[in-house]
């Protein structure tokens, strides 16, 4: 290499190649990223004006690609304001990490690049999601001084039609794909005794198939001038523009109003039950709840979590976490029930402390749960994000050392021994993550032991398996497999060509798949059934930086409350977590932008290796923790057979889900199914599925 000042220099390329932090690898990653976007080579070039002469900023466009480049030409850190008003409303995504930066607005965009630093941002226009961002807000003129007239006999029918359209656009509404018959406001409950306070509407929604559901929608009226900022920050909050006799305003979902959130928190500490007509809201306080604490406390600033789907969660500073259940199902909510039991009757500490709940009564009888309050748990995100970060480091190491470390034999999750893992593999995996997988297995075992510790409580006491129960599980799985394979067969020709051979292979081996479930029809299992988490995966576990906290015991939202409270094998939760590890290992190729197709082909067997060792360490740690417990078979072969049943069931369910929602992810459940088939069958197909 010729240097203009010092002439000849030597660089050991082999050393650079084996060091994932070297300039060579940095340059490789830069080139890979550049090749992924045609805008870099073919796009238009547009200078973006800024207020700092030491900063170069420009945008390149090609097709639907818009890329912003910001370069600090100085040897010192700089502050720059970019004129990006043309792109107001766009989301900025840092291309190497995939992290979202603040959304661009109608004001200068502030960045603080370090010395000689360069930002590459992908600009994405806000998509038309299922909310009201792109929808015109309905308007209504009322010949009255107060918006309460909306709920009188004259205006109520029109308001209900508006609520029907609004519900269909909300993320928390689960009936989007169903045909409405009608929506009725059955009950109205003021959230406090204050004048003009928010109202909680109970919406009875009936469908054309004869079924009905009850949803909760808190609403409040805000004057037009005060609503601007709320709607700008939360476009899906606006329900209706209202013109009254003397003023104009907006009816919004009250969770986006700070006053409602404060009033809702106070409901949990109220000594009185709130009653309106034939419904009552009654707080139930836990042992750790202090009414004096809530009374004396200055209610901290609250925020609505944006990632929620079926429910709405509110965080109050660093003290309280409150969940508003949007759909009110009749019966005991397992999220409240299990959380309260673990927090008050067991020694399991790795779940948020239960503080209080809001129970709903109709005509004097318990009907359901409206809200849940827990202690806030400080965390660094969930275990899914933590795992993706670790996988990114792992794959970088593999690519850097591919010529040094040959791919070893890949064990199954059932025969991994962490003491026998070679040092070079431990270094690749990241010793800390292996320790965390072991810790997660331990915490999962402690959770199950806590749930199973209630010997006298009928709802929690362990129960024996029966042949009748095992046959019912088998029939349920049989129905799932048949329906899934019918859907796969019907849509197989519509799938990308890269998946068609693999899908045909799955269809041709239906008998082999069904053979996996045969143990359910054999002898009765020796273990007992217990209450379980029900929807256990890496996204349901918070990572604190040194430990894990299990959250969301609600179970699968698609199931009824009675189904979610049924006792099942604890190994169902383990199967769910193992599938989550598998999804992380292969999903990284889709979620992380740093891999070429050549990289992916090389990394796929290493992904399987990572899954086998990490999943195996998690499983072994779990089994060591629960050893001797009544809910786990004492025979290792029986454990393996049961786990294979539940892992295969989960993989088939995922196959159906991805087929209908994310076809690009199909290769993950396909690989999961293949790995569980007989060796002579699964080894026939080793082609790459992720091209």
Q: Which two tokens stand for residue 341?
A: 């039991």
**What pLDDT band is residue 131 in, cutting at 50, 70 and 90?**
very low
Q: Which two tokens stand for residue 164?
A: 């029907």
Q: For the beta carbon of residue 285, count every other beta carbon within 10 angstroms.
A: 18
Q: Highest mean pLDDT range out of 391-400, 586-595, 674-683?
A: 391-400
- pLDDT on residue 405: 83
What's the average model confidence in pLDDT over 660-664?
85
Judging by DSSP bridges, how do beta strands 199-207 and 109-111 pair with one another? unpaired
How confident is the model over 469-510, as pLDDT tens digits? 999 999 999 999 999 999 999 888 888 787 888 888 889 889
> Quick one: 590 exposed, middle or buried, by C-beta within 10 A (0-12, 13-18, 19+)?
middle
- pLDDT on residue 294: 60
Picking from 267, 352, 264, 255, the residue whose alpha carbon sits closest to that of residue 304 is 255
Whether the predicted pLDDT of 53 surpasses 70 = yes
Question: Which residue matches tokens 């009907």?
Answer: 367
What's the average model confidence in pLDDT over 41-48?
92
What's the average model confidence in pLDDT over 361-388?
93
pTM for this structure? 0.81
Which of 22-36, 83-97, 229-243 bottoms out in mean pLDDT, i.e. has the lowest?
Answer: 22-36
- pLDDT on residue 339: 94
Asked if residue 331 lies in contact with residue 561, where contact means CB atoms within 8 angstroms, the answer is: yes
**What pLDDT band is residue 132 in, cutting at 50, 70 and 90?**
very low
Whether the predicted pLDDT of 134 surpasses 60 = no
Name beta bridge partners: 275: 280
Picking from 134, 119, 135, the residue whose alpha carbon sits closest to that of residue 57 is 119
Picking from 404, 424, 673, 451, the residue whose alpha carbon sits closest to that of residue 569 is 451
Q: Which fold has domain 37-125?
A: Immunoglobulin-like (2.60.40)
Q: In the chain, what are the domain boundaries? A: 37-125, 130-256, 383-405+422-532+567-682
Q: Which two tokens stand for residue 471?
A: 């046959």
What's the average model confidence in pLDDT over 540-569?
92
Is the model more confident about 126 or about 182?
182
What's the average model confidence in pLDDT over 71-96?
91
User: What gap in Å lies between CA 443 and CA 542, rounded to an integer?
Assistant: 12
Distances, alpha carbon 71 to alpha carbons 48, 112, 122, 295, in Å: 12, 11, 15, 52
- pLDDT on residue 13: 73
- pLDDT on residue 687: 44
How confident is the model over 636-660, as pLDDT tens digits? 999 999 999 999 999 999 999 898 8
DSSP 175: -
Q: Which two tokens stand for residue 20?
A: 């994932």
**What pLDDT band is residue 460 in, cutting at 50, 70 and 90?**
very high
Name beta bridge partners: 187: 202
Q: For the beta carbon of residue 376, count every other beta carbon within 10 angstroms.
A: 16
Q: Where are the beta strands (DSSP E) in 259-364?
A: 274-276, 279-285, 302-304, 311-316, 320-325, 354-362
- pLDDT on residue 682: 44
- pLDDT on residue 684: 46
Please give the CATH architecture assigned to the domain spanning 383-405+422-532+567-682.
Answer: Alpha-Beta Complex (3.90)
């Amino acid at each position: 290499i010729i240097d203009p000042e010092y002439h000849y220099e030597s660089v050991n390329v082999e050393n650079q190649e084996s060091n994932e932090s070297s300039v060579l690898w940095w340059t490789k990653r830069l080139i890979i990223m550049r090749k992924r976007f045609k805008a870099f080579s073919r796009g238009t070039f547009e200078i973006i004006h800024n207020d700092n002469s030491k900063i170069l900023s420009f945008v390149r466009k090609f097709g639907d690609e818009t890329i912003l480049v910001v370069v600090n030409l100085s040897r010192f850190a700089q502050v720059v304001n970019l004129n990006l008003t043309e792109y107001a409303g766009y989301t900025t995504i840092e291309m190497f990490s995939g992290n979202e930066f603040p959304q661009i607005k109608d004001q200068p965009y502030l960045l603080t690049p370090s010395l000689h630093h360069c930002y590459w941002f992908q600009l994405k226009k806000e998509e038309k999601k299922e909310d009201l961002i792109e929808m015109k807000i309905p308007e209504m003129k009322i010949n009255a001084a107060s918006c309460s007239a909306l709920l009188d006999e004259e205006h109520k029918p029109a308001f209900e039609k508006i609520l029907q359209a609004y519900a269909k656009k909300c993320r928390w509404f689960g009936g989007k794909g169903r045909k409405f018959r009608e929506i009725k406001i059955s009950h109205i409950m003021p959230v406090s005794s204050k004048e003009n306070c928010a109202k909680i509407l109970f919406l009875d929604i009936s469908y054309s198939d004869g079924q009905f559901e009850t949803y909760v929608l808190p609403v409040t009226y805000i004057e037009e001038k005060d609503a601007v900022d709320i709607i700008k920050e939360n476009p899906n909050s606006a329900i209706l523009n209202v013109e009254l006799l003397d003023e104009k305003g907006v009816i919004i979902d009250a969770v986006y109003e700070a006053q409602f959130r404060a009033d809702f928190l106070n409901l949990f500490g109220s000594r009185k039950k709130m009653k309106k007509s034939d419904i009552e809201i009654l707080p139930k306080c836990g042992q750790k709840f202090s009414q004096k604490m809530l009374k004396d406390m200055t209610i901290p600033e609250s925020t609505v979590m944006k990632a929620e789907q079926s429910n709405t969660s509110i965080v109050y500073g660093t003290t309280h976490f409150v969940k508003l259940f949007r759909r009110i199902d009749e019966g005991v909510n397992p999220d409240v029930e299990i959380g309260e039991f673990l927090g008050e009757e067991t020694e399991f500490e790795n779940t948020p402390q239960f503080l209080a709940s809001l129970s709903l009564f109709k005509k004097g009888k318990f009907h359901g749960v409206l809200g849940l309050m827990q202690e806030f748990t400080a965390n660094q995100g969930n275990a899914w994000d933590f795992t993706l970060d670790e996988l990114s480091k792992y794959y970088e190491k593999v690519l850097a050392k591919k010529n040094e470390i040959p791919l070893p034999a890949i064990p199954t999750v059932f025969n991994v021994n962490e003491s026998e893992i070679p040092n070079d593999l431990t270094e690749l995996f990241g010793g800390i993550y292996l320790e965390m997988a072991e810790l997660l297995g331990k915490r999962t075992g402690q959770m199950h032991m806590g749930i199973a510790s209630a010997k006298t409580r009928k709802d929690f006491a362990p129960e024996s398996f029966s042949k009748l129960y095992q046959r019912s599980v088998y029939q349920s799985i049989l129905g799932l497999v048949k329906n899934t394979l019918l859907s796969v067969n019907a849509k197989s020709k519509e799938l990308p060509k890269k998946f068609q051979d693999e899908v045909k292979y799955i269809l041709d081996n239906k008998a082999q798949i069904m053979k996996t479930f045969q143990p359910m029809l054999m002898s009765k299992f020796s273990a007992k059934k217990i209450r379980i988490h029900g929807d256990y995966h890496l996204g349901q576990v918070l990572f604190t930086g040194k430990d894990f906290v299990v959250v969301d015991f609600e179970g699968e939202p698609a199931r009824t409350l009675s189904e979610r409270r049924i006792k099942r094998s604890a190994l169902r939760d383990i199967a769910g977590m193992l599938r989550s590890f598998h999804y992380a290992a292969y999903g990284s190729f889709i979620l992380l932008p740093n891999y070429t197709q050549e990289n992916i082909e090389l990394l796929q067997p290493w992904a399987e290796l990572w899954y086998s060792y990490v999943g195996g360490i998690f499983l072994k740690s779990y089994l060591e923790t629960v050893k001797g417990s009544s809910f786990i078979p004492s025979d290792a072969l029986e454990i393996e057979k049961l786990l294979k049943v539940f892992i295969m069931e989960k993989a088939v369910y995922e196959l159906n889900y991805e087929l209908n929602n994310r076809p690009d992810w199909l290769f993950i459940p396909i690989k999961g199914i293949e790995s569980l088939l007989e060796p002579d069958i699964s080894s026939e197909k080793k082609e790459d599925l992720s091209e």
